[in-house]
């Protein structure tokens, strides 16, 4: 009996230790990635300083006439080289903002239909297809946007917008010479729909039936129940899903790299090329190893560090908001009559 108990205790200890090790591996991998980026970007941080976050010039200066120089005895850099990430940071924010502006309303419409309007069978099929969008590889989205969406924007939609009354609004007046900015934002908006719609649908579906039935008993229409009861109850989940979608848009690489058209300057309007931090890293990684001083690689590592920090802040904030949604109570719903 004692042997059996000792064996059971040993099994429990092994089980606890193994699960603790597996759960802790996530933190370990995160700190390893963070440490590697800090180590690799240290020369760039020391050489560029705050100028890295305030200038738009990106010139590795790896031409045949340039020579390698040493700064402060340990920082190697090509003579005349300058590195600034403002173009790519701004491009990331603009494309992500467009994605939220276009994707969130569509996602809310999908979530509202699936959770409040559609019969169960249709809702089940619709939910399956929405979640199926999340499984499509990003390179497929990028190829579709490059072949289909880009030409349509460049030769149909953008000239129509530039020639309409919208041309009097700054940024919409043209000239039309690129679809990079709008194409990047549009493809990102499609890519965030599954995550925003799924979480919003679950938040709306968790609204207690008693609240909705009570609203109908007071004479509310279905739309009034949705607007005055369901939306307030699911507000935290909706906001959290939008922020998770923002995190998805910030870190997207291949789809944006295929359609952004590789801008090296700040966009002057909605018909300009674009470049995001993730896309710029992917497009320049091979060429960066041609720099004998390796400063180009170090600068890309610093961009990756900034991107990691940005996405971590966004995702942690989103998780906290979604967590609040899970403890939502009926008292937080204010019914306006």
Q: Which residue has the higher pLDDT, 115 or 334?
A: 115
Q: Report the pLDDT value the prediction gives residue 166, as an integer from 0 to 100.
A: 82
Domains along the sequence of the chain with CATH: 86-332 (1.10.3720.10)
In this prediction, residue 67 carries a pLDDT of: 83
- The pLDDT of residue 92 is 94
Which is more confidently placed, 304 or 326?
304
| pTM assigned to the model | 0.86
- E strand or H helix that includes residue 71: strand 68-71
CB 154 within 8 A of CB 179: yes
State how far the alpha carbon of 131 is from the alpha carbons of 96, 126, 198, 270, 306, in Å: 21, 9, 7, 30, 30
Q: What is the pLDDT of residue 66?
A: 78
| 4-18, 59-73, 108-122, 319-333: range with highest mean pLDDT | 108-122
Summarised one tens digit per residue, pLDDT across range 240-295 is: 889 889 988 998 889 999 999 888 889 888 899 999 999 999 999 888 888 888 99
């Amino acid at each position: 009996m004692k042997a059996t108990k000792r064996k059971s205790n040993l099994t429990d200890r092994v089980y606890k230790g193994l699960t603790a090790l597996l759960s802790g591996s996530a933190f370990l991998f995160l700190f390893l990635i963070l440490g590697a980026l800090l180590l690799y970007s240290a020369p760039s941080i020391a050489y560029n300083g705050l100028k890295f976050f305030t200038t738009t010039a990106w010139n590795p200066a790896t031409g045949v006439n340039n020579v390698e120089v040493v700064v402060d005895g340990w920082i190697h850099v090509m003579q005349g080289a300058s590195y600034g990430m403002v173009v790519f940071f701004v491009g990331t924010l603009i494309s992500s903002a467009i994605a939220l502006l276009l994707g969130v309303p569509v996602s809310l419409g999908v979530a509202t239909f699936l959770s409040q309007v559609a019969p169960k069978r249709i809702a089940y099929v619709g939910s399956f297809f929405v979640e199926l969008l999340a499984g499509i590889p990003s390179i497929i989205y990028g190829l579709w946007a490059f072949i289909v969406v880009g030409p349509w924007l460049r030769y149909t939609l953008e000239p129509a917008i530039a020639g309409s009354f919208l041309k009097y609004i700054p940024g919409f007046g043209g000239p039309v010479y690129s679809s990079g900015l709008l194409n990047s934002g549009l493809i990102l908006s499609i890519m965030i729909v599954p995550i925003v719609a799924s979480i919003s649908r679950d938040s709306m579906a968790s609204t207690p039936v008693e609240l909705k039935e009570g609203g109908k008993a007071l004479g509310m229409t279905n739309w009034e129940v949705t607007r005055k009861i369901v939306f307030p109850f699911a507000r935290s989940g909706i906001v959290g899903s939008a922020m998770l979608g923002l995190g998805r848009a910030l870190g997207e690489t291949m789809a944006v790299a295929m359609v952004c058209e590789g801008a090296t300057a700040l966009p002057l309007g909605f018909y300009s090329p674009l470049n995001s931090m993730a896309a710029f890293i992917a497009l320049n990684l091979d060429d960066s190893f041609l720099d004998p001083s390796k400063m180009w690689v170090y600068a890309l590592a610093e961009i990756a560090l900034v991107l990691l920090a940005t996405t971590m802040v966004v995702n942690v904030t989103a998780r906290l908001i979604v967590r609040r949604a899970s403890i939502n109570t009926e008292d937080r719903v204010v019914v306006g009559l």
